[in-house]
Amino acid sequence: AQKITQTQPGMFVQEKEAVTLDCTYDTSDPSYGLFWYKQPSSGEMIFLIYQGSYDQQNATEGRYSLNFQKARKSANLVISASQLGDSAMYFCAMREYGQNFVFGPGTRLSVLP
């Protein structure tokens, strides 16, 4: 069974608008972490944001925020005020305590001028 699901293979957003990239996960472990990475065309994987399962508040890092809905097991990434440089692949990942990282298949975001 897929532990991380990203249902949007591709997304388009107009520059300066906000966009939400979906991620749902599957775990029965109460202790886990959720991560988002960005991979531009240059190929490097850039860490964006982290949310712990026990965190009471949604994580935010600049224009990135994580909409964490624990009961629904979703950890959507919200990018506000999109920029052309945000065009990239975005990967959601999870790590259960004591286990390895699991990555989703990714969503390709294209920001339109």
Partner 1 sequence: GAGVSQSPSNKVTEKGKDVELRCDPISGHTALYWYRQSLGQGLEFLIYFQGNSAPDKSGLPSDRFSAERTGGSVSTLTIQRTQQEDSAVYLCASSLLAGGSGDTQYFGPGTRLTVL
List residues binding partner 1 (CB under 8 A): 31-33, 35, 37, 43-47, 50, 52-53, 91, 93, 95-101, 103-106
Nearer to partner 1, 53 or 65 (CB): 53
Angle at 55 between CA 68 and CA 11, to 5 degrees: 25
**Shortest reach from residue 49's CB to partner 1, in Å:** 10
- Closest separation in Å from C-beta 74 to partner 1: 17
- Looking at beta carbons only, is 98 or 113 nearer to partner 1? 98
CA 66 – CA 94 distance, rounded (Å): 13
The string of DSSP codes covering 56-67 is SS--EETTEEEE
Query: At residue 28, what is the residue type?
Result: S
Question: Measured from the CB atom, is 10 or 18 closer to partner 1?
Answer: 10
Cα gap 60→104, rounded to integer Å: 21
- Least separation, in Å, of the C-beta of 2 and partner 1? 11
